[in-house]
Amino acid sequence: MEQVYIGLGSNLAEPVAQLDAALSALSQLPQTELVAVSAYYSSAPLGPSDQPRYTNAAAHLATTLTAHQLLDHLQAIELKQGRVRKAERWGPRTLDLDILLFGQHILADERLCVPHYHMHARPFVLLPLADLCPTDFKLADGRRLADLLRDCPIDPTLQRLPAQQSCTI
């Protein structure tokens, strides 16, 4: 079983409910077990500032699916929850599911880049991931999660949500 980490984000249509529904859908994926879920975090949007705050989290999965099979399932969950893919980058969305890490694999093709191409600069990705990983955790490319956290730009808008606003799986 591959150990996989998924980033979740939403800023439309009740973001906490969107993440809860996405986690429920992830727990139903074939050949996959939902192992753990991070706390939920809130932050200002990346990109256009005239949109609602984001709610983000991370999920740890164990799966025998391939990375591309998993990606297909994630995109189907996004569509089911009203995701509309637009040309606008970093715009508002009901749900965004990203494969952050897929075991110790490094993948780069037209559909998928793992480790996620820009996670090192996104505290709203790294902090939820750190909730799930040991402090000495290393990515497939050899980078240590602790180093990424140390070097990541500080986001003063990022806040951990109270436990009652986080999903308990």
Which of 20, 72, 96, 155 is labelled catalytic? Answer: 96
Query: Which one from 20, 50, 89, 98 is the annotated catalytic residue?
Result: 98
Separation of alpha carbons 22 and 95, rounded Å: 8
151 is catalytic: no
Catalytic pick among 20, 93, 122, 131: 93
pLDDT of residue 46: 84
d(CA 65, CA 3): 11
Nearest-angstrom CA–CA distance, 27 and 115:
22
Task: Locate 136 and state its tokens.
Answer: 């000495």
| Dist. CA 115–CA 16, nearest whole Å | 25
83 is catalytic: yes
pLDDT at 123: 96
What's this model's pTM, rounded to 2 decimal places? 0.93
Has residue 53 got a pLDDT over 60? Answer: yes
Tokens standing for residue 9: 């984000």
Fold classified for 2-165: Alpha-Beta Plaits (3.30.70)
Q: How far is CA 134 from the centre of its chain?
A: 17
Clarify whether 96 is annotated catalytic: yes
